[in-house]
Amino acid sequence: MMPETPDLDELRRSVAGAVLGPDDAGYDAARRCFNALVDRRPAVIARCAGTGDVAAAFDFARAHGLEVAVRGGGHNPAGHCVLDGGLVIDLSTMRTVEVDAGTRIARAAGGATWLDFDAATQAYGLVTPGGVVGSTGVAGLTFGGGIGHLTAQHGLTCDNLVGAELVTPDGSVVHAGLDGHAELLWALRGGGGNFGVATRLEFRLHALDRVVGGQLAFRGKDVSEALRRFRDIVAGSPSDLSCQAIIGVDEALEPAVIAAPCYSGSEADPAELRALRSAPGLVEDGVRSHGFLDQQLVFDSPYGENRHYWKGHFVRELPDELLDELVARIVALGRPPGGILIESLHGAPKDVDGDAGALGFRQAAFNVSATAIWQDAALDAESIGWARETAAVLEPWSVSGGYANYMQADEPIERVRAAFGDEAFERLRALKRRYDPGNVLRRNQNIPPG
Ligand SMILES: Cc1cc2nc3c(=O)[nH]c(=O)nc-3n(C[C@H](O)[C@H](O)[C@H](O)COP(=O)(O)OP(=O)(O)OC[C@H]3O[C@@H](n4cnc5c(N)ncnc54)[C@H](O)[C@@H]3O)c2cc1C
């Protein structure tokens, strides 16, 4: 049965935030998500202003038989933040970040982005390891794990999550922390937006203001050698150096590698960084001492302009033959943008007790993702095929399932289960039965209750 056309004025009377329907100005901008491949028309977008609004939006959706999507930063490549015909709980105006410098705790509202978060915490010379693109949502990224420029130093973002306030689909407000609903806190560390809408997240902070970082660009026939150097350096690197790499092609369709180190130690000229900066094929060295806010600008990505399809694997190692194959795959794609992202998981993620959170990829060496990016709809099939085939090349070295934060909506449940492992997946299902037994929150990498 199709849901009735809801009376939006009824919702407007019960929430403090704006309510947008298809006829309202701003509707098209509000339904746009990061991935231009996703073009959906919700019946209503509720721009929530607080916990009361979120509960009212859940009530309204239930009363009118509307499916629900939750929007933070709108970055999820699967486009889970928007849906056809349903109700979007949009947190994009709930962006406040409060910093308690004394206890080194930050409290971020449910729709805060990393730009909001870093700007607030850096005012005190403090930081939590977050994402590398400022417009990504803090909550969405954290609930999937969180890999970035400070992963080696301070762990995954979710390792630094110490509490959260959630509105569950029945309208209850729950605080998850070590002193109550601790099992829910465990689930939020990797288990996604399955259990409620977070209106506040609390993070542990660390002292940091300046880092040595930026981009190193490598081109031409030596890029395979540069990749080997990157792999060997990060594998043996101390935890004061995080580093990611992207393999792509330049305008001349030559293979190109960008490495983005982030060093936070005290040495003036650390050996690992020196070795990386002298790798073969270097054409541009943009590494310098700068503020952490500048490091957070090293990668940028236009919002809503490009079509995206990402697929990857956590791998236990990156042998030479695999690196060579990845370079060959990017050359075969033969057009920028898009590439293969390699994120190292060395350092602090390995020091955390594996039972502190639900995620199951902590022991992997690298997260490797084929990120197809294009604009012309005529290239949809080719681009999606390329990402899938490139991910298949990685499969023999795969550990755990894929990275929930990068998964498309077409990933089968077996892959979501594999991302956690059987035991953690069943534990997550038990929590889903407790906090969202009706699976209202299913527009995500879903943990079904039954
Ligand atoms: C350009 C780009 C850069 C990225 N960089 C990184 C990176 O550096 N590191 C990394 O680990 N990941 C990164 N990601 C992946 C990103 O972390 C995930 O896609 C994440 O889901 C995005 O969260 P969001 O709030 O921006 O997205 P949305 O699409 O708004 O939300 C995604 C899902 O998160 C859940 N969610 C969001 N907010 C809440 C909330 N307040 N309460 C409950 N559930 C919520 C919902 O299930 C929602 O469907 C990047 C993605 C993109 C497109």
Instruction: Report pLDDT for 193.
Output: 97
Confirm or reject: Cβ of 345 under 6 Å from ligand 1.
no
Cα R_g (the chain), whole angstroms: 21
Q: Is the pLDDT of residue 363 over 90?
A: yes
Q: Is the pLDDT of residue 217 over 70?
A: yes
Mean pLDDT of 292-314: 95
Ligand 1 pocket check: which of 47, 54, 76, 369 to mutate, most ligand atoms within 8 Å of Cβ?
Answer: 76
Instruction: Report pLDDT for 401.
Output: 86
Q: Give the closest residue (by CA) to ligand 1 atom 28.
A: 74
Kindly tell me the number of DSSP H helices and DSSP E strands found in the chain.
Answer: 14, 21
* Sequence-distant (≥ 6) Cβ neighbours of residue 129 within 8 angstroms: 146, 148, 149, 150, 151, 153, 154, 155, 156, 157, 160
Q: Is the pLDDT of residue 165 over 80?
A: yes
Q: Give the closest residue (by CA) to ligand 1 atom 51.
A: 75
Cα of 334 vs centre of ligand 1, distance in Å, is: 29
Confirm or reject: Cβ of 91 under 6 Å from ligand 1.
yes
Cα of 35 vs centre of ligand 1, distance in Å, is: 12
Q: Give the closest residue (by CA) to ligand 1 atom 15.
A: 405
pLDDT tens digits along 23-52:
999 999 999 999 999 999 999 999 999 999
Confirm or reject: Cβ of 403 under 6 Å from ligand 1.
no
Cα of 146 vs centre of ligand 1, distance in Å, is: 9
Cα of 234 vs centre of ligand 1, distance in Å, is: 26
Residue identified by tokens 């690196």 is 323
Spatial contact of 397 and 315, defined as CB atoms under 8 Å apart: yes
Cα–Cα dist 59/277, whole Å: 56
Instruction: Report pLDDT for 3.
Output: 53
* Short-list 423, 364, 359, 367, CA closest to 391: 367
Cα of 218 vs centre of ligand 1, distance in Å, is: 30
Cα of 281 vs centre of ligand 1, distance in Å, is: 34
Mean pLDDT of 151-175: 98
Cα of 75 vs centre of ligand 1, distance in Å, is: 5
Ligand 1 pocket check: which of 81, 154, 189 to mutate, most ligand atoms within 8 Å of Cβ?
Answer: 81
Cα of 137 vs centre of ligand 1, distance in Å, is: 5
Confirm or reject: Cβ of 435 under 6 Å from ligand 1.
no
pLDDT above 90 as % of the chain: 94
Give kind and range of the element (H or E) at residue 164: strand 161-167
Query: From the CB of residue 316, how many other CB atoms can be counted at a distance below 10 Å?
Result: 14
Confirm or reject: Cβ of 188 under 6 Å from ligand 1.
no
| Residue 268 banded pLDDT, cuts 50, 70, 90 | confident
Mean pLDDT of 283-297: 97
139-148, 259-268, 337-346, 410-419: least confidently modelled range: 410-419
Confirm or reject: Cβ of 279 under 6 Å from ligand 1.
no
Cα–Cα dist 346/247, whole Å: 20
Complete DSSP assignment for 275-302: HHHT-TTEEEE--EEEEHHHHTTSS---
| Residue 235 banded pLDDT, cuts 50, 70, 90 | confident
Average pLDDT, the chain: 96
Ligand 1 pocket check: which of 90, 136, 185 to mutate, most ligand atoms within 8 Å of Cβ?
Answer: 136
Confirm or reject: Cβ of 447 under 6 Å from ligand 1.
no
Confirm or reject: Cβ of 130 under 6 Å from ligand 1.
no
Instruction: Report pLDDT for 300.
Output: 87
Cα of 325 vs centre of ligand 1, distance in Å, is: 29
- What is the bridge-based pairing of β-strands 87-90 and 68-71? parallel
| Residue 4 banded pLDDT, cuts 50, 70, 90 | low
Confirm or reject: Cβ of 113 under 6 Å from ligand 1.
no
- Ligand 1, closest atom to CA 145? 11
Instruction: Report pLDDT for 152.
Output: 98
Q: Is the pLDDT of residue 1 over 50?
A: no
3-state DSSP helix/strand/coil percent for the chain, to nearest 5?
A: 35, 25, 40
Q: Give the closest residue (by CA) to ligand 1 atom 53.
A: 75
Instruction: Report pLDDT for 389.
Output: 97
Instruction: Report pLDDT for 238.
Output: 86
Query: From the CB of residue 257, how many other CB atoms can be counted at a distance below 10 Å?
Result: 29
Ligand 1 pocket check: which of 405, 416, 442, 446 to mutate, most ligand atoms within 8 Å of Cβ?
Answer: 405
Confirm or reject: Cβ of 110 under 6 Å from ligand 1.
yes
Q: Is the pLDDT of residue 380 over 60?
A: yes
